[in-house]
Amino acid sequence: MAENPALAEWNDLKREWLRALKADNKSDNTIEVYERAVRQLVDWLNDNSARLADDGHDELGPCDIEAGALREFQADMLERTSPGNTHTWHRSVCTFFNWLVAEEERSRSPMDKVKPPIVPKKSIPLVADDVTKAVLDQCKGNDLISRRDTAIIRLLFDTGCRLSEIANLKKEDVDLDLDVIHVLGKGRKPRSVPFSPKTGQAISRYLRVRNRAKTAHLPWLWLGDRSRGHLQANGIKIMLRRRGERLGMNGKGNNLHAHRWRHTAAVAWRKNGGDTTSMKRIFGWKSDAMVGHYGDAAADEVAHQHARELNLGDRL
């Protein structure tokens, strides 16, 4: 089937848009997500161009496509993937069309008339202290890998930082005088996050072994095993999953991953009266919405605790 000529406009404008995103200092990961969303739409339009034309959607270029075709794609995507993935697509494509409006290629975004999909709230399980202790017990040892994994895990549950923020640390980002790490968060926004004395001790012990490694000259904080360069985010993800599996944490939704510790740390902050401003600065959030989300999670946990203490079912 011949490609609709109007679709040729997409590549040129998408290239300009990606250049604008780089100029705005968007992260590589954000740019990749945005580009993939538009590419998915273009592929779908190309595959369905004849049918869409029969349905009255003759104009499929980025400057003239309307909400009807976009709603069809969104509905099709909901059938093929999760509401969360579809919501990510919706937000990404909104960004593209908003850029077209800013560039005066369109008078308004067609996505203004396309409602985002409803994403059911998912309950992220907390990591109990005894589980974290059991994982740390696995890491006992004086070798580089044992001390590295201990320091990584302690930083994750102590600071609540994102996986990418911990993975991208360099040696110079660790201040053992002030006991803080300097991370680069979403939107390339830097912030400093304090850590506790035990975490500082774990980092110091790791650095002593790291300084004797063949790859000690690398700027990255976390070295890989067998002199294979530095440990990246995916390597940390695999390490955590494997250590969790040794504890029997291999069921659906029960894997050990960095975000569970971030979630646990945020709930602990709210339970202990952490204020909105402080949480936003520590966890790297722009809005109050995430603080409210974890406030709800903390309230649920407190309610469950009170219910267990009352034991209403045992009164008879």
- Tokens read off for 53: 């034309």
Please say whether the structural domain 5-113 has been given the CATH code 1.25.60.10.
Answer: no
Separation CA 10–CA 6 (nearest Å): 8
Query: Residue 109 class from Cβ within 10 Å (0-12 exposed, 13-18 middle, 19+ buried)?
Result: buried
**DSSP three-state, residue 253:** coil
- Tokens read off for 141: 């040892």
- What would the pLDDT profile of 205-264 be if each residue is shown by its tens digit? 999 999 999 999 999 999 998 767 899 999 999 999 999 999 988 766 678 999 999 989
Separation CA 44–CA 38 (nearest Å): 10
The CATH number of the structural domain formed by 129-257 is 1.10.443.10
Separation CA 313–CA 307 (nearest Å): 10
Look at residue 1 in the predicted model and tell me its pLDDT: 43
Look at residue 50 in the predicted model and tell me its pLDDT: 75
Mean pLDDT, rounded, for 16-36: 91
Average pLDDT in the chain = 88
- For the ranges 50-54, 143-147, 178-182, 297-301, the lowest mean pLDDT is seen at 297-301
Separation CA 44–CA 48 (nearest Å): 6
Separation CA 43–CA 12 (nearest Å): 15
Helix axes 233-245, 258-271, angle to 10 degrees: 80
Q: What is the pTM of this model?
A: 0.71
- What would the pLDDT profile of 95-152 be if each residue is shown by its tens digit? 999 999 999 999 999 999 999 998 877 767 789 999 999 999 999 999 999 999 999 9
Mean pLDDT, rounded, for 13-19: 94
Look at residue 297 in the predicted model and tell me its pLDDT: 66
CB atoms within 10 A of CB 34: 23
More confident residue, 123 or 27: 27
Query: In Å, how far are 98, 229, 281, 292, 293 from 287, measured between CA atoms?
Result: 21, 37, 11, 10, 11
> In the block, which residue shows the tokens 């992260």?
27
**Does residue 26 register a pLDDT over 70?**
yes
Task: Report domain extents, the chain.
Answer: 5-113, 129-257
- What would the pLDDT profile of 264-304 be if each residue is shown by its tens digit? 998 888 888 888 888 888 988 887 777 777 766 666 766 67
